[in-house]
Amino acid sequence: MRKDGSPVNRRRIFTIGLFALTVVLSSCATKKPVLYGPEGDPFTITKYEKIAQMEREAGRYENAVEVYRVIIERFEENRTSLVWAHYETGFCYFKLKKYNEAEVQFRRVINEFQDPAARKLAQDMLTRIAELKENKGKKREMKEKIEKNMEKQTKKKP
């Protein structure tokens, strides 16, 4: 009951809340990055790198991956940009919890490039992924043990 004595209409409150949630979520929809100039011509590598960095910093990792993919495809002769595009692609996949895809990119950095800083960072990320996978395996084992114990307890009860 409200202070004025009228009943609270839960359905109305639910509908308003659902509408507000829909508005908020739709306003957060990710807009695709602009990858070409107004005439359809490609940007310079510097422009692509800036776009990718802006997308990554804004947490739009899928968009950043798309831009890094363009760098990898169009500028393969620029080894410095290429190694960092692979590293950043791996980092974005890591943030998206796509660990297998991230691992592929980090391994490419280590196996195909000579940049010591990029290789070190890639190795550090591979270590983090391995730790996450190990912890996930331990959690799965613990869950299975708990479920088995619960089954045993259930069977014991008359």
Block means of pLDDT (10 residues each) for the chain, 158 residues, are 61 63 51 83 93 96 97 95 98 97 98 97 97 83 76 68
pLDDT of residue 33: 84
pLDDT of residue 151: 75
Cα distance between residue 115 and residue 129, in whole Å = 21
Residue 154, domain member (yes or no): no
Is residue 72 domain-resident? yes
**Residue-number span of the structural domain to which 79 is assigned:** 31-118
Number of domains in the chain: 1
Supply the angle between the helices 45-57 and 61-74 in degrees, to the nearest 10: 160
pLDDT of residue 26: 45
Look at residue 7 in the predicted model and tell me its pLDDT.
59
What angle separates helix 61-74 from helix 79-95, to the nearest 10 degrees? 160
* pLDDT at residue number 41: 86
Q: What is the CATH number of the domain that holds 62?
A: 1.25.40.10
* pLDDT for the residue 27: 45
Q: Is residue 143 part of a domain?
A: no
On whether residue 92 sits in a domain, the answer given is yes
Does 1 reside within a domain?
no
What is the per-residue pLDDT for 30? 63
Instruction: Decide if 41 is inside a domain.
Output: yes
**Cα dihedral 142, 135, 55, 22 in deg (nearest 10):** 10
* Contact predicate 6/12, CB 8 Å: no
